Structure 1
Amino acid sequence: MRTFRENGILSVDFLIGFSIFLLALIMILTMIPGIFAGLDSAQIDYDAVAYRTSVILCEDPGWPADDDSWEFMDTYHKDDIDRLGLAVSSTSPNILSKEKTKAFFNENENLVLDNDDYHSKVLFGEIPYYYNISLKIENDPVNTTGNIAPDSGYGYMRRLVKLKEPGYAKIDSGEFNKTNTTITTLNPYVYTGFSVIFDYAEIQNKSIDEAYRLMLQSEPASITIYNFSSSLNRSDISNVTLTKIRFINDDKEVPIVYSTYHNDTYRFFIDGIQHTMQGPFEISDADELKFEIYPPLMFSDEIGTSLSVVFNMTYEFVPDESMKHYYISGDIPYIYNKDYMTEPYLKDGVMEVMIW
């Protein structure tokens, strides 16, 4: 037979047990969201990786980023590249370098990037993500690298960007001086020339925003001289010869090999046909001379100096001493605020990053 005291003990035991049950139930309920957190946040994690990747690509110039910038390295030295950023500089976010985008999307024949490079120099981390990175610039085809994106289940980031197009010079032959001279029948020749001058102190003007500055350490220089033949008085000229082209620094010829097509310094064209700088070339009927110099331009890191591209010419005139004979000569600066200069400009673009 239960006593009153025994009934009280049973009630206390029940309350203690029920309380423990409630505490255990509460703990289980609070743990349930954590159990499924990995499933719910997978998309968020991929989005975070896509965002981080887009920041590296659009806001970082990569590393190295100075005189030996990564986009000018070759395949044999790509292990020295730490990051594949595409920005013109760290102070110009979302403004992309054309040379860097070409290298990133394997349009540079000297540098070939593979899947391991993109993982170790852009995506980072130990997780072997799949990725698809694309860049669409106005009026240009889409550039893309990576894997084919799935229909769903990926992280995504879209960035509005600008692509910096380098400046260039397109010079009418009439811009040069036209000098008249007299000749003798015994010596119907005039030896002269003209030059294009890169004054680095003026070019690297820090007051000009990097987005619109001629940055010849990381961007190519292009010189086109047109209307050459039509600028001549053909009635009194027997022949015009481009004897040679030379780089001059501080009044001295730069000691490089001028006779090879395959080089890392320049390309030279006469009416669209490639030549070396060695010469001589008969150009009496030529309309266009085009000269491209690859970055970094020689001595462009020395602000107090300059580089000249000198075209040495020989004119052979009709041996008539009674006539005035004309030839072109002079110096043209590769610099801002000239009618013949197209200064750097920006093109709209969209970068998309997908990670899964």
Structure 2
Amino acid sequence: MTAESALTPTPAANAAGLPLALDAVGGDHGAVPNVDGAVQAARAGVRVMLVGDRVKLHAELSKYPGAAGLPLEVVDAPDVIGMDEHASDVRGRKDASINVAARLVKDGQAAALISMGHSGATMAASLLILGRLPGIDRPAILTHIPAKTGTVALLDAGANADVKATYLAQWARLASTYLKVVEARENPTVGLLSIGEEDHKGNAVTLEAHALLRQQAGINFYGNVEGGDLFKGTTDIVVTDGFTGNIVLKLAEGEARVLFGWIREALGSSARSKLGGLLVRGGLRTVAEKMDPGTYGASILLGVRGLSYIGHGSADARAVKNALLRAARAHQSRLIERLSTELSGPS
């Protein structure tokens, strides 16, 4: 099974239930990849609300034969928060697409919010409109890092630059429940990112978080892990502050691009290398798929009272489709209800 096929919900997963609200004009490329990805997801049986400028979205949909018969709906939102604008703009622009999509989730008209647009605005709208789950001080972005064992769930990947130890303990509970519910990983292990695996290594926040995680019921705490452990798959989950997590994520993505550039150069350097490249093309394609952010679609913002997914601004149609499939799977798994139940229990 490929990484992408593992994301696919069961046939017609939400065809008869709530649709997903897609910020269909957000991102570097606007409506084009969003509509394309939504059409692909709709053909897989996922209901999608396309939120954005009605005229632009209908014009884009008209390019797809048979789109009128798919489970797609356009919801008008005449405003959009651009990638170069401030996240705080969500407060005064109620007709912005990200706000309209978040309200659809808040009002029970949509199952999840998905945006490839302004990540700060998506986080702000999710917090202001959806609110936090009980017992959660700050939500965190959970992203998937390709590893030797499959994938490792890393959080926070950028929502909180400055943290308290209690946040890390809360995120460990959120991520553990997420992996159990959505990915069927029983008793997932949790690692705390530090500068050494010994218990006494780390800064003040890490040392305090280590003590809290050791004491926390319901968490399978492994202990400290180092940066290389993410790619080894030493633990199922790695928790850290959003400043460090975002650097780790972008470092991994950047190194993957450079590495594949080196491989292409090496395989094209001579006639013999080109022949070898033909022989390994299939294997390299599989590796490239595992390392492509588009395979995973978008990252979930865990800790808000609703499903909220944040993707890359440069996302293509494949990434949009996979984000929608991932959100449909989480909704089908009743993730928010399960998180609420878990958080209401003993900590």
TM-score (norm 2): 0.22
Give the helix-richer structure, 1 or 2: 2
**Bigger radius of gyration, 1 or 2?**
1
Give the strand-richer structure, 1 or 2: 1
